[in-house]
A and B are shown apart, each in its own frame.
Chain A
Amino acid sequence: MASYLLRRVGTSALVLLLASIVVFVGVRALPGDAALALAGEERDPAALEQIREKYGLNDPVPVQYVRYLGNSLQGDLGFSTRTGLDVTDIILERLPVTLELALLSLAVGLLIGIPAGILAALRRGSWVDNASNAFGLLGLSIPNFWLGLVLILLVSVQWGLLPASGYVPFLEDPLGNLQRMLLPAIVLGTGLSAVLMRQMRSAMLETMSADYVRTARSKGLSERSVVLVHALRNSLVTVVTVLGLQLGALISGAVITEQIFVIPGFGKLIVDGVFTRDYPVIQGVALVTVFGYVFVNLLVDLTYSFLNPRIRVSGGAS
Chain B
Amino acid sequence: MTTAAAPMSQPGPALAVPPPRQRRSRRLVKRFFRRRLSVFGLVVLVLILALALAAPLFGDPGRNDFSAVLQGPSAAHPLGTDDLGRDTLARIAYGARVSMQAGVMATLLAMAVGVPLGLIAGYYRGWADLVISRLTDLLLAFPFLILAVGLAAILGPSLRNVVIALGISALPSFIRVTRGEVLGLREQDYVAGAVADGAGDTRILSRYILPNAISPLLVQATVTIPEAIIGESVLSFLGLGVQPPTPSWGTMLSAAQGFLSQAPLLAVWPGVAIALAALSFNLVGDGLRDTLDPKAER
- Enumerate chain A interface residues (CB-CB to B < 8 A): 11, 14-16, 18-19, 22, 26, 29-31, 137-138, 140-143, 145-146, 149-150, 152-153, 157-158, 201-202, 205, 247-249, 251-253, 255-256, 259-260, 270-271, 274-275, 282, 286, 289-290, 293-294, 318
Residues in A whose Cβ lies below 8 Å from that of B142: 19, 22, 286, 289-290, 293
> Do the beta carbons of A149 and B154 come within 8 Å of each other?
no
> Do the beta carbons of A205 and B298 come within 8 Å of each other?
yes
Residues in B whose Cβ lies below 8 Å from that of A141: 226, 275-276, 278-279, 282
Query: Would A149 and B271 be within 8 Å (CB), given that A11-B137, A16-B141, A138-B279 are in contact?
Result: yes
15 A-B contacts (beta carbon < 8 Å): A137-B286, A141-B276, A143-B230, A145-B253, A146-B271, A149-B256, A149-B260, A157-B260, A157-B261, A202-B298, A252-B144, A255-B149, A256-B234, A270-B149, A274-B150
- Which one, B267, B268, B278, contacts A143 given CB within 8 A? B278
> Do the beta carbons of A146 and B134 come within 8 Å of each other?
no
Asked if B283 is at the interface (CB within 8 A of a chain A CB), the reply is yes
> Do the beta carbons of B278 and A140 come within 8 Å of each other?
yes
Which of B24-32, B192-200, B211-219, B237-245 is the contact stretch?
B237-245
Residues in A whose Cβ lies below 8 Å from that of B112: none
Residues in B whose Cβ lies below 8 Å from that of A270: 146, 149
Q: Which residue of A lies closest to B230 (CB)?
A: A143
Nearest CB of A to B91, in Å: 16
- Enumerate chain B interface residues (CB-CB to A < 8 A): 133-134, 137-138, 140-146, 149-150, 153-154, 156, 226, 230, 233-234, 237-240, 253, 256-257, 260-261, 264, 267-268, 270-271, 274-276, 278-279, 282-283, 286, 298
Residues in A whose Cβ lies below 8 Å from that of B138: 15, 18-19, 22
> Do the beta carbons of B143 and A252 come within 8 Å of each other?
yes
> Do the beta carbons of B154 and A30 come within 8 Å of each other?
yes
> Do the beta carbons of B145 and A143 come within 8 Å of each other?
no
> Do the beta carbons of A274 and B153 come within 8 Å of each other?
yes
Alpha-carbon separation in the docked complex, A259 to B237 (Å): 10
Nearest CB of A to B185, in Å: 16
Residues in A whose Cβ lies below 8 Å from that of B261: 157
- Which one, B144, B278, B282, contacts A248 given CB within 8 A? B144
Query: Would A256 and B237 be within 8 Å (CB), given that A14-B134, A149-B260 are in contact?
Result: yes
> Do the beta carbons of A150 and B141 come within 8 Å of each other?
no
Q: Is the interface of B mostly helix, strand, loop or mixed?
A: helix
Q: Is the interface of A mostly helix, strand, loop or mixed?
A: helix
Q: Which residue of A lies closest to B180 (CB)?
A: A318
Nearest CB of B to A89, in Å: 21
Residues in B whose Cβ lies below 8 Å from that of A152: 260
Residues in A whose Cβ lies below 8 Å from that of B264: 153, 157-158
Alpha-carbon separation in the docked complex, A26 to B149 (Å): 11
Residues in A whose Cβ lies below 8 Å from that of B153: 30, 274, 282
Q: Which residue of A lies closest to B226 (CB)?
A: A141
Alpha-carbon separation in the docked complex, A15 to B278 (Å): 32
Alpha-carbon separation in the docked complex, A152 to B260 (Å): 9
Query: Would A251 and B141 be within 8 Å (CB), given that A202-B298, A271-B238, A274-B240 are in contact?
Result: no
Q: Which residue of A lies closest to B150 (CB)?
A: A26
Q: Which of A30, A142, A149, A157 has the most CB of B within 10 A?
A: A149
Alpha-carbon separation in the docked complex, A138 to B137 (Å): 30
Residues in A whose Cβ lies below 8 Å from that of B146: 251-252, 255, 270, 286, 289-290
Alpha-carbon separation in the docked complex, A256 to B257 (Å): 14
Query: Would A140 and B282 be within 8 Å (CB), given that A30-B154, A146-B275, A274-B240 are in contact?
Result: yes
> Do the beta carbons of A255 and B134 come within 8 Å of each other?
no
Nearest CB of B to A29, in Å: 5
- Which one, A22, A256, A290, contacts B238 given CB within 8 A? A256
> Do the beta carbons of B141 and A293 come within 8 Å of each other?
yes
Residues in B whose Cβ lies below 8 Å from that of A201: 298
Residues in A whose Cβ lies below 8 Å from that of B154: 26, 29-31
Residues in B whose Cβ lies below 8 Å from that of A318: 133
> Do the beta carbons of A293 and B143 come within 8 Å of each other?
yes
